[in-house]
Amino acid sequence: MSARSDAIAPPLYAAADFAVILAPALAFKFAADRGGLGDTKGMDLVIASAVLGAIHAVIAGHRLFDEEHTAHRRADIWIAAIDALAVLALAATLLPAVVLWGFAEEHASIANRGHPVVALWIGTQLVAVVLAELTGRAVFRWLEPPSAPEGGPD
């Protein structure tokens, strides 16, 4: 990999990470717009996901940057990163959908109390982010176990 691609790849990965978190909220917004709710309906979720996505994109970018300084093999970084992104893509979309679908009754009871719906949305996406982050770090650690110190203390 060239120095140029070294510089471009982490921001591209961070952008993909951001997009994956934002996409489900955009899907809901798209559905609202198509139905004629072209005002602020759905924007709360888009904003919530955008904030979470931006924060995690920075974290993911830093993770790659740190791993580039410690990794013995560049391939390990990207294998772990792709694994993390796959988990993020699935969980960030599937978890909110399953939670909203499977517990519709419970959520409806909180809908008239203001922000809990947004908090629920952020909560499910936060779980997805944590799962992805754990996956990325665990796979990287598995591929590049910390070296045992040479010689032990006497």
Partner 1 sequence: MGGGPDGPGHLRLAIRGARGPRRRDRGGVSDVSRRQFLAATGGVAGTAAAGGILAGHVWPLLTREDLIPGRAPELTLEPGSWTTAPDRLRFAAIGDNGSGGRHAMAVATQMARTYEHLPFGLVALLGDICYYGNLADRYDHVFRRPMAPLLDAGVGFELAIGNHDAGLRHSDEGIAEIEAELGLLGTPGRYYSTTHGPADFFYLDSSEPGVFGPDAPTQWEWLDDTLAAATSQWRIVCLHHPLYSSGRHGSTLGARRRLEPILRRHHVDLVLAGHDHHYERTHPVDGITYVVSGGGCKTTRVGHSTFTATATAALQFLLVDIDDDRLTGHCIGVGGATIDRFHLRAREHR
**In the 8-state DSSP scheme, what is residue 71?**
-
DSSP codes, 87-112: HHHHHHHHHHHHHHHHTHHHHHTTGG
For partner 1, which is the closer residue by CB, 57 or 85?
A: 85
Q: Work out whether 137 is an interface residue with partner 1 (CB under 8 A).
A: no
- Stretch in the footprint of partner 1 (CB under 8 A) among 26-34, 46-54, 55-63, 124-132: 26-34
Burial class, 73, CB count within 10 angstroms (exposed 0-12 / middle 13-18 / buried 19+): exposed
Residues 108/48, Cβ–Cβ less than 8 Å: no
Binding-site string for partner 1 from residue 45 to residue 64, where x marks contact by CB under 8 A and - marks none: x-------------------
Contact yes or no for 136/60 (Cβ under 8 A): yes
List interacting residues with partner 1 (CB under 8 A): 1, 6, 24, 27-28, 30-32, 34-39, 41-42, 45, 68-69, 71-76, 79-80, 82-83, 85-87, 89-90, 93-94, 97, 100-101, 104-105, 107-112, 117, 121, 139, 142-144
